[in-house]
Chain A
Amino acid sequence: MEEEFVMIDLDEVSRHIEIPSDAPYTLSGLDTLNPVLTIDGKIKLVGEYIETIGTCLAFSEKEEVSASENQMPHKKIIEPVAKLHKILKFRLAALDNDDGETKTNNL
């Protein structure tokens, strides 16, 4: 199985809105240059592909569960996940209502 990773960059968006956790999302337009990310049915973001400067390495952290939790503190285990060169930078869509209306009309 071939895998390719892309980093979704929401730094510019996080200043204005708070992204909830465990929310449903829809990612459309993956076959276009500007994918659209909709979070929780309300937040609509437009993406743009960017090349990384150098290489972006992704690492995951796992909590190590020891036999006796009382005696030893929790330790994190770091594992490399991916090496990627693509960043999908998202920003807020221009007007959410218009896009929604347009989409409704299409449907």
Chain B
Amino acid sequence: MGIIEEGTISGTLPSKEAFVVHFPGYPSSISRAIETLGGIQGITQARESISNKLELRFRPEDPYAHPALGEQRPCSGFLLRISKQDIKKPESQSVLDTSRDVCLEEASPVLCADIVARLSESFHFDGMADYQHVIPIHADIAQQKKRKWMDVDPLTGKSDLMGLADEDVMMLLPQFFAPKDIPDNVALKPPATSGPKKKDDAATQNFYEIDVGPVFAIDFSVKEIPKKLKWEDFVSRSSNHWQWQVAVSALFEERPIWTRDSVVQRLLDKGLKCTHHMLNRFLLRAAYYFSSGPFLRFWIKRGYDPRNDPESRVYQRMEFRVPPELRGYCDANATNNSKPSWNDICAFKLFPFKCQTFLQLFELDDEYIQREIRKPPKQTTCSHKSGWFSEAMLDTLRLRVAVRFVSVFPETGFEDVFKSIQEEFERSEKVQIQKETLKPSLVKHREATKGSEDMETFKSVNENVDANVNEDGEDENLDDEDEDEEEEEELDMAAGDNEISLDSHGYLDTENSSRTYLQGLFDSFPSSEPNLYGDFAVDDGSDGEFQIYEEESEGLYSIDDDHNDDDEEEDDDD
């Protein structure tokens, strides 16, 4: 044992060996620590076993305690012991000296230090600590033992738990906090084969975010539409995407607006099949769509604005809603995975499985519809609600679609529904024809020079009996106009004489009232027609005839006026 002189000791490194355990806690005593490590026997086994695992149970009394594992590793170190002790020799020597020296030496104890062992191995606990749920009884038992060891009487409050233990309380095995004892570093390795694809996707994604701009669900009232995109710059010709992208872009050169279902059908016809996500990518490079309006969710070619082109009316959207009486068929086929062909739907060969189907006017295989949508546009702007058509025209087309679909309903019991829709369509068609025949006549009334062209328009109309009657009415109306002109000339001549002018003033009033009546009758004619047709189909003809009769009586009244004029002239001559 070396005495520390001026903070220095000397000695020889020992050959005696020892090992250390880095205990992850603060045991109350060495014996308690040894108990948690499985006792001397457990430590000895750990030292001798091949695995060198030392088990540590923080609660050795608990049979369910989950052990923490210590790992043995080589280390390099020494164990330094520092102690304090008194030296006898100095005391004996001091007796011979003066008493003062004796007091000083006795009062100062000596510090000794020495390296006593070489450390070659150590145990480290790197695993999970045991955070297992503790059953109160086990904790109480542990507490009891601690108290006994510390010579402290147990609290009286704890007796209840002990009583429970005596009564054989059910012991449920608690769950482990974590299934792993030692933490692992887990790294997910991306598969090597998909490396280049991921890179392409990333590049494409970046491109989309930067340059593509908004293409999904654009507002119908937006001022600028997406511009044309040079997609050839970022799709390599050698990749699979090139073929698809060429096919999709070619469709929009064929016509500027497509439904998604139709695009899918066309690609399938060419043998090209891709996922929903990939198709979206191909489409947005070539097209965009509105979130509302007459082209709702139709893919529109980039750079093309259907709101500025009246020709886009043929590509407008049409919808078919299954009548409530027939929706049982859709409910029955809700789980039907076999999707009907889009071409068959547009050709009215199959009844749709869905209660609501959106179609494009251009694709519908119906002579009436295709003829109607190709007539010259009557509106100068594309409205949000009905596009380039009037709402009445769209309603007529919608009824036509319903008639065609219901006629191919595959089950029985649709006859009544079919009849009602058919009748409604026929009424709507008559109203539409009525409007068409009236408006051209108005134009003719204003522009007499274009009479021949208007006549040609009349001839091209698909006529029925009512239409013929109406045309006759128009002819009579023209005659009335001629008579009105003659009357005006006569009035001018009569104005030359003062005495005669007073008399002619009375006649002028009569003529004004008759003209007002004609104009009122003429204006109210279009608005009253739909109501009449809607209410009584049978009375349509009689109502038309009634109108004609009144016009004839007007003519007769004019003739009477002429006679009166002749009489007055004779009186003046006398």
A residues sitting closer than 8 Å to B (CB atoms) are: 1-11, 13-14, 19-32, 35, 39, 52-61, 76, 78, 80-83, 88
Residue of A nearest to B125 (CB): A54
Cβ-defined partner of A78 (8 Å) among B27, B47, B117: B47
- Majority-rule SS of A interface residues: strand
Q: How far is the CA of A106 from the CA of B30 in the complex (A)?
A: 46
Supposing A25-B10, A54-B22 touch, asked if A81 and B76 sit within 8 A by C-beta, the answer is no
Supposing A13-B76, A52-B22 touch, asked if A1 and B12 sit within 8 A by C-beta, the answer is no
Taking A7-B77, A25-B13, A57-B23 as given, write out 15 further A-B residue pairs in contact, using a Cβ cutoff of 8 Å, ordered by the A residue number.
A1-B83, A4-B83, A7-B80, A8-B80, A8-B115, A21-B13, A22-B12, A28-B7, A30-B7, A30-B82, A31-B4, A54-B25, A60-B117, A81-B79, A88-B80
Cβ-defined partner of B13 (8 Å) among A32, A39, A76: A39
Selected A-B contacts with CB under 8 Å, 23 pairs: A1-B83, A2-B84, A5-B80, A7-B79, A8-B79, A9-B77, A14-B76, A21-B118, A22-B13, A25-B11, A25-B12, A27-B113, A30-B4, A31-B7, A32-B7, A55-B25, A55-B33, A56-B21, A56-B23, A61-B18, A61-B19, A76-B47, A82-B79
B13 touching A30 by the CB < 8 A rule?
Answer: no
Q: Does B24 contact A (CB under 8 A)?
A: yes
Q: Does B175 contact A (CB under 8 A)?
A: no
- Majority-rule SS of B interface residues: strand
Cβ-defined partner of A55 (8 Å) among B26, B44, B47, B78: B26
Indicate with 1 or 0, residue by residue over B93-125, a CB within 8 angstroms of chain A CB atoms.
000000000000000000001010111000000
B84 touching A24 by the CB < 8 A rule?
Answer: no
B84 touching A1 by the CB < 8 A rule?
Answer: yes
Q: How far is the CA of A60 from the CA of B475 in the complex (A)?
A: 130
Supposing A3-B81, A7-B20 touch, asked if A19 and B30 sit within 8 A by C-beta, the answer is no
Q: What's the nearest-Cβ distance from chain A to residue B434, in Å?
A: 98
A53 touching B24 by the CB < 8 A rule?
Answer: yes
Q: What's the nearest-Cβ distance from chain A to residue B349, in Å?
A: 81
The 3 closest A-B pairs by CB, nearest first: A14-B76, A31-B7, A28-B8
Q: Does B15 contact A (CB under 8 A)?
A: yes
Residue of A nearest to B27 (CB): A55
Cβ–Cβ < 8 Å partners of A20 in chain B: 13
Q: Does B267 contact A (CB under 8 A)?
A: no
Q: What's the nearest-Cβ distance from chain B to residue A14, in Å?
A: 4
Q: What's the nearest-Cβ distance from chain B to residue A2, in Å?
A: 5
B residues sitting closer than 8 Å to A (CB atoms) are: 4, 6-13, 15-27, 30, 33-34, 40, 43-44, 47, 75-85, 113, 115, 117-119
Q: What's the nearest-Cβ distance from chain B to residue A13, in Å?
A: 7
Cβ–Cβ < 8 Å partners of A35 in chain B: 7
Q: What's the nearest-Cβ distance from chain A to residue B73, in Å?
A: 10
Supposing A1-B85, A3-B83, A8-B79 touch, asked if A29 and B7 sit within 8 A by C-beta, the answer is yes
Residue of A nearest to B111 (CB): A30
Cβ–Cβ < 8 Å partners of A82 in chain B: 79, 81
Supposing A6-B80, A59-B19 touch, asked if A78 and B113 sit within 8 A by C-beta, the answer is no
Q: What's the nearest-Cβ distance from chain A to residue B41, in Å?
A: 9
B12 touching A23 by the CB < 8 A rule?
Answer: yes
Q: What's the nearest-Cβ distance from chain B to residue A50, in Å?
A: 12
Supposing A56-B23, A57-B21 touch, asked if A24 and B11 sit within 8 A by C-beta, the answer is yes
Cβ–Cβ < 8 Å partners of A57 in chain B: 20-21, 23, 30, 33
A10 touching B23 by the CB < 8 A rule?
Answer: no
Cβ-defined partner of B10 (8 Å) among A24, A59, A88: A24
Q: How far is the CA of A78 from the CA of B25 in the complex (A)?
A: 21
Residue of A nearest to B12 (CB): A24
Residue of A nearest to B80 (CB): A6
B8 touching A29 by the CB < 8 A rule?
Answer: yes
Q: How far is the CA of A82 from the CA of B82 in the complex (A)?
A: 12
B82 touching A4 by the CB < 8 A rule?
Answer: yes
Cβ–Cβ < 8 Å partners of B81 in chain A: 3-5, 82
